[in-house]
Amino acid sequence: MFSKRSIRRRFLFQLIVASAALVILFSSFLYLFIKQSIYDEKQAELIGYAENISSYKSLLSTQQNNADTMMGLTVELITLSQNDEHLDFYETTHKDKSTTLTLIYPFDFEHSSYLKVSRDITPTKRLLRKIMNSIYLINAVGFVVIILYAIAFSKMLIAPISALSRRLANMNEHLIRPIKVEQLPDEFEPLGETLNRLIARIQNFVKYQKELFIGAAHELKTPLAVIKLKNQVTLIKKRTPEEYIEAIKITNQSVDEMNKIVADILNIGRQEGAQLEIPVQTDIIQILKKWEGDFKLLANSENKTLLTRFEPDAFSAVLQVTLLNQILQNFLQNALKFTPEGKTILFQSHMNGVGIVIEVIDEGCGIDESVDLFAPFKRQGNKSGVGLGLFLAKSAAEAIGATITLTNREDGIDGTCARLILPSKLCCVIPQR
């Protein structure tokens, strides 16, 4: 019915063992309690008879007039060699399977005389056996009811999981819809929200993959058409060697553009492989300082200034370093590309209520915020490029659980602010000495 890895199987097995132990213990304790109560009552009756004989020389006191209580009762006067002032009770089972309860009670210490008061408790023993059978039978029925309820309850608990599984199994890339979290039990809301985030990522992935394939086909088609056209023109009539050389140069330029597109598409494949790397704990600030050193030299060579301001002094995160480096490299390359000579690029980090914020702020031409620049083959401005850099940066940010944004500056200066937010749930500040 259930596999060995089934949670319901383990739950039911543990419940059966626990319930069986509870039924046995409860039944045993209840039976022993009832038995002891009845025996205490019988022993008290025998002590009462013995006390009446010792005090009133009669089996019954003056307040007792019920002769039926004397049925099955025998009294003997015996002499014992040992002087024992303590009461002594014992139970005897005879050959006819009858049972008597006997009390030895001191009567005359001078003559070592004792009263031996016995009573037939066979009916009481039968009653106790019936009580014991009834207790175990009732508890066994209760045990079965508990197991049946547990099976129904466990089925009810996994019903939302089964519904989610069927919903996800029937989805395809054209019919992906978010799960209605408000219709789930409170305990399954976090799972529903997590699945919705995953569905959103899948939708973006499918969307961008389609755009990538369409864009790649379009981008490759253009240089191929140019190459074909140039070759056709070249073949129409004979030309001088210089003209052939010029035509080959133009063809090579088109091939170089195609190579750039192919290289960026290959980078997408490498990035998907980097997402499978094992996350490691690293100091984010040290990585930022490394990129500071590399790009300061490039900025100086292009007569541009790279300013840095990193806070806090150290910040630990568990992530794939390769993906973080791809994001930072894209931010800095774009800032350097679009910033004119003599202008400044600010590379900084600081803490906020979410986590650590990494920003690269340039003094370029800014962006059109109505355009989704994170889509593949989207380009801004008149600079060269294929338009896959921000697409790769966005994919890398989603893979490490970060948020990436690209906005215009709000301080009255033309330029763009590229921002990466690493949430605190993945990171922690290293305590400083």
Residue 112 lies in a domain: yes
Long-range CB pairs of 166-172 (<8 Å, 24+ gap) are 168/195
Rounded distance between C-alpha atoms, residue 80 and residue 394, angstroms: 102
Pick from 274, 289, 305: which residue ends a domain?
A: 274
Query: Residue 103 to residues 3, 57, 84: CA-CA distances in angstroms?
Result: 61, 17, 13
Same domain, residue pair 229 and 115: no
Rounded distance between C-alpha atoms, residue 302 and residue 304, angstroms: 6
* DSSP one-letter string for 116-152: EEEEE-HHHHHHHHHHHHHHHHHHHHHHHHHHHHHHH
* Residue 152 exposure: Cα atoms within 13 Å on the Cβ side: 6
Rounded distance between C-alpha atoms, residue 347 and residue 285, angstroms: 12
Alpha-carbon torsion (194, 200, 206, 209), positive or negative: negative
* pLDDT at residue 208 tops 70: no
Check if the beta carbon of residue 326 is closer than 8 Å to that of residue 396: yes
Domain count, the chain: 3
Q: What is the pLDDT of residues 107-119, one digit of tens each?
A: 776 777 888 888 8
Pick from 249, 274, 299: which residue ends a domain?
A: 274
Same domain, residue pair 310 and 284: yes
How many degrees, rounded to 5, is the angle at CA 263 between CA 260 and CA 266?
155
pLDDT value of position 63? 46
Tokens describing residue 189: 């809301």
Same domain, residue pair 51 and 102: yes
Same domain, residue pair 123 and 245: no
φ, ψ (nearest 5 deg) of residue 108? -140, 105
Q: What is the pLDDT of residues 247-273, one digit of tens each?
A: 778 777 777 777 776 776 666 666 555
Question: What domain range is 327 assigned to?
Answer: 280-428
Q: Where are the alpha helices (H) located in 275-340, listed in sequence order?
A: 284-301, 321-338
Same domain, residue pair 342 and 422: yes
Check if the beta carbon of residue 415 is closer than 8 Å to that of residue 361: yes
φ, ψ (nearest 5 deg) of residue 339? -90, 125
Query: What CATH number should be reported for the domain holding residue 207?
Result: 1.10.287.130
Residue 22 lies in a domain: yes
Pick from 255, 274, 293: which residue ends a domain?
A: 274
Write down the mean pLDDT value for the chain.
Answer: 79
Q: How many helices (H) and strands (E) does the chain have?
A: 7, 12
> Per mean pLDDT, which range of 205-209, 311-315, 414-418, 428-432 is the poorest?
428-432
Greater pLDDT, 9 or 117:
117
Residue 348 pLDDT grade (very low, low, confident, very high; cuts 50, 70, 90):
very high
The stretch 312-334 carries a mean pLDDT of 87
Greater pLDDT, 355 or 267:
355
Check if the beta carbon of residue 418 is closer than 8 Å to that of residue 359: yes
Same domain, residue pair 344 and 240: no
**Beta strand spans in 136-270 (E):** none
**Highest-confidence segment of 226-240, 256-270, 401-415:** 401-415
Same domain, residue pair 86 and 131: yes
Same domain, residue pair 408 and 284: yes
Q: What is the pTM of this model?
A: 0.49
Rounded distance between C-alpha atoms, residue 402 and residue 394, angstroms: 9
Rounded distance between C-alpha atoms, residue 432 and residue 355, angstroms: 17
Q: What is the pLDDT of residues 138-191, one digit of tens each?
A: 988 888 888 888 888 877 877 777 777 777 776 666 667 777 777 777 777 787
Check if the beta carbon of residue 308 is closer than 8 Å to that of residue 332: no
pLDDT value of position 48? 84
Greater pLDDT, 78 or 430:
78
* pLDDT at residue 428 tops 60: no
Taking 3-state DSSP, the helix, strand and coil percentages for the chain, each rounded to the nearest 5, stand at: 55, 20, 25
Rounded distance between C-alpha atoms, residue 376 and residue 261, angstroms: 11
Q: What is the CA radius of gyration of the chain?
A: 46
Residue 42 pLDDT grade (very low, low, confident, very high; cuts 50, 70, 90):
confident
